[in-house]
Amino acid sequence: MVDKGQCKFNIGKEGLTHGVLESLRTCFKTHKNIRISVLKNVERDKNKMKEIAEKLAEKLEGNYKYRIIGFTIVMRKSAESVREKRK
CA-CA distance, 73 to 36, in Å (whole number)? 5
Range 6-86: architecture per CATH: 2-Layer Sandwich (3.30)
pTM: 0.77
The confidence score (pLDDT) of residue 78 equals 81
Q: State residue 1's pLDDT score.
A: 39
pLDDT at 84: 54
Kindly list the domain boundaries of the chain, sorted by start residue. Answer: 6-86
pLDDT in tens, the chain (87 residues): 345 657 888 888 888 889 989 999 999 888 889 999 988 877 778 888 899 899 999 998 888 999 999 889 999 988 764 455 554
Q: What string of DSSP letters covers the chain?
A: ---TTEEEEEE-TT-S-HHHHHHHHHHHHH-SEEEEEEPTTT---HHHHHHHHHHHHHHTTS-EEEEEETTEEEEEE-HHHHHHHH-
